Amino acid sequence: MPSVNRPPFIVGLTGGIGSGKSAAAEHFARLGAAVVDTDAIAHELTAAGGAAIPSLVAAFGPDILTPDGALDRAKMRALAFTDPAVKHRLEAILHPMIRQEADARCLAAADAPYVVLVVPLLIEAGEDYRRRCQRIAVVDCPEEIQIARVRARSGLDEDLIRRIMAQQASRAERLAAADHILDNGGDLARLYAQVEALDRLYRELARSAPP
């Protein structure tokens, strides 16, 4: 395994909503990679007592909290979609905190074979995350499959899902930025086989990376 003094080899994992990022990340973790998930970090920061809560209340008022003191994500999402200024303020609060925590977790995982940094908006973030990654892997599937998966898991209506997708990078933009593409238009067995092939590649790349 890499020395703890060696910078971690970081693979940025991204994909559109409903593409299957979580399924891919979970399989990378089962194979022994360290997984740092920026969505999970965001949930921790906005949970009751989370580090971002005071700044969010100061910016948007206490009405954006649930009764237990967590960020009301549905209410915040609705506000952000209807008001670009709200979206900008929300991102200005959360994104630096998420990046700081993600960096710390990646460094803490330097003794892992490699790190998978899961960033749903990696392409949209420009160089903020791309410069941290030695490789970028994109989980891809047709847009109609994305919509069907999101409707099945969350109950969101198709119009809202399409609005979310419209605010993300296009499928073509994600694919153009990818070093490796995981085709998740089929079943999980097919996705897992592709993850296993990339796991072997990333282990070799990490071993041969300069210190």
The CATH number covering residue 166 comes to 3.40.50.300
| Over residues 168-189, mean pLDDT | 95
pLDDT tens readout for residues 96-113: 999 999 999 999 998 999
Q: Is the pLDDT of residue 78 over 50?
A: yes
Between 78 and 107, name the one with better pLDDT.
107
Task: Please check whether residue 5 lies inside any domain of the structure.
Answer: no
d(CA 201, CA 36): 19
Residue that has been written with the tokens 């419209």 in this structure = 166
Q: Is residue 149 part of a domain?
A: yes
Length of the chain, please? Answer: 211
pLDDT recorded at residue 127: 83
pLDDT of res. 155: 87
Cα–Cα distance, 33 to 200 (Å, whole number): 11
Per mean pLDDT, which range of 12-21, 31-40, 107-116, 156-165 is the poorest? 156-165
pLDDT value of position 1: 45
- Long-range contact list for 195-201, CB < 8 A, 24+ apart? 195/24, 195/27, 195/28, 195/31, 196/27, 196/31, 198/11, 198/137, 199/28, 199/31, 199/32, 199/33
Mean pLDDT of the chain: 93
Mean local confidence (pLDDT), 21-43: 98
Residue 166's identity, in one-letter code, is A
Could you give the number of structural domains in the chain?
1
Residue 19 lies in a domain: yes
Q: Is 61 marked within a binding site?
A: no
Overall average pLDDT of the 122-129 stretch = 86
Q: For residue 117, what pLDDT is reported?
A: 98
Q: Is residue 3 part of a domain?
A: no
Q: How confident is the model at residue 3 (pLDDT cuts 50, 70, 90)?
A: very low
Under 8 Å between Cβ of 1 and 113: yes
| Alpha-carbon span 180 to 178, nearest angstrom | 5
The reply, when asked if residue 75 is annotated as ligand binding, is no
Residue 61 domain-assigned (yes or no) = yes
Sheet holding 180-183, edge to edge: 34-37, 115-118, 10-14, 135-140, 180-183
Q: How far apart are CA 159 and CA 108, in angstroms?
A: 41
18 carries a ligand binding annotation: yes
Amino acid 155 reads G
* Residue 32 labelled as part of a binding site: no
pLDDT at position 7, please?
A: 81
Is 55 flagged in the annotation as binding? no
Range name among 89-98, 159-168, 172-181 with the lowest pLDDT average: 159-168
185 annotated among ligand-binding-site residues: no
**Which tokens hold the place of 11?**
């693979």
Confirm whether 1 is domain-assigned: no
Residue 5 has a pLDDT of 61
Q: Give the range of the structural domain holding residue 174, as residue numbers without chain letter.
A: 10-203
Query: Model pTM greater than 0.85?
Result: yes
Residues facing 10 on adjacent strands: 115
Q: Is residue 4 part of a domain?
A: no
